[in-house]
Amino acid sequence: MRRAAVTLVALAVACCLVVPALGAQPAPAPAHPLIGIGDENLEMFTDPHFLALGIENVRFDMSWDVLSGGYKDHYRLDVLREWLAEARADGLTPLITIDHSDRKGQSRRLPTVSQFSRAFQQFRRLYPWVTEFVTWDEANYYGEQISHSPRRAAGYYLALRRDCPTCTILAPDLLDITNRGQAVPMVRWAHEFIKYAHTQPAYWALNNYVGANALSVRSTRALLDGVSGSVWLVETAGIVDLPHRGRVGFPLTARHAATVDRFLLQRLPDLSPRIQRIYLYEWRPVRRHAVWDSALIAYDGKPRPGYDVLADALDSWGIAPDCAISMSPPPCTATGATASSGPTGSS
């Protein structure tokens, strides 16, 4: 998440939220959602802690113009190429979130639909095996120029569907900031998008950091009620640290982050079977004092409590860790645990 610092104010607002009741007649518990990890840290692919969990889905946030001439020998392009190569070699399924340009002076410039389409087709020619895409990142947030143009966003979405009819195309990613000075209310933005797209997308993307870290189902439920189709939580997690540690209403600690991760994995899926996937961000911070830190693994490589929460959740769903790769997952160190030949299911 490149604009993580801005989320701080939203989290301060979120501290006033309360967890609403789930209702007198809860729906039957759905099958567990598919779990993925969002991270651009290449070390994840060789980390025994990651490999032991058997997670098969990963996410990358990609500038829409990353393959343009201006990106020749650019660091992020090199990372993207190696990340995709690692994912393919390991048999992982990547979800690519398309984002604004990170070239100097270009972040607020929206491509035309034709430019966007040509860039996407260029990517598809190079990586035809990648078939899952989020149209745009955090489209209702005012830090994104596209927040003012749901019509343009609808054009991008329809272009992706036209250019790859066999791909899974998610509507633009929405951020659950409740402060109207920072973002268009996400359901209102979604309805504007639907009006211009002339269709209800089958898949919606949500970054619910605000609700999750307030231990509230409110924002996730609002999107479920406001649209049809499946909802993928494509970027979310308990937050360990922020660039400005102001009053946010919850402890910025690894232990509280684990409480949030448990809430995400065990409470939110009960809202609806339409919550099909949850991508936790991130695996490991790239530096000791990162600008944003919601990682499951600390910078020194040691698992945090959130890692244990994830391993236990997967195990409870019948997805046992491979203890022959790493004994770190709690199920591997439990009394009577024995090394297995591999995970017993797909995550």
Q: Per residue in 88-101, pLDDT tens?
A: 999 999 999 999 98
Q: Tell me the average pLDDT across 122-135.
A: 98
pLDDT of residue 286: 84
pLDDT of residue 341: 44
Whether 159 maps to a domain, the answer reads yes
Whether 24 maps to a domain, the answer reads no
Q: Which residue has the tokens 């659950």?
A: 176
Whether 161 maps to a domain, the answer reads yes
Separation between Cα atoms, residue 29 and residue 34, nearest integer Å: 15
Q: What percent of the chain has pLDDT over 70?
A: 85
Dihedral angle of Cα 331, 336, 340, 344, to the nearest 10 degrees: -60
Whether 57 maps to a domain, the answer reads yes
Whether 214 maps to a domain, the answer reads yes
pLDDT of residue 246: 63
Whether 82 maps to a domain, the answer reads yes
Whether 278 maps to a domain, the answer reads yes
Q: Per residue in 21-42, pLDDT tens?
A: 343 344 444 479 999 999 999 9
Whether 22 maps to a domain, the answer reads no
Separation between Cα atoms, residue 339 and residue 258, nearest integer Å: 26
pLDDT of residue 14: 45
Is the confidence at residue 266, as pLDDT, over 90?
yes
CATH number of the domain at 74, please: 3.20.20.80
- pLDDT grade for 133, boundaries at 50, 70 and 90: very high
Average pLDDT over all residues of the chain? 88
245: DSSP letter: -
For residues 133 and 166, the answer to whether their CB atoms sit within 8 Å is no
Q: Which domain holds residue 227?
A: 4-15+31-333
Q: In this structure, what token pair is assigned to residue 33?
A: 């959602």
For residues 238 and 281, the answer to whether their CB atoms sit within 8 Å is no
Instruction: Name the H helices within 227-290.
Output: 254-262
Q: What percent of the chain has pLDDT over 90?
A: 74
Q: What's the number of domains the chain is made of?
A: 1
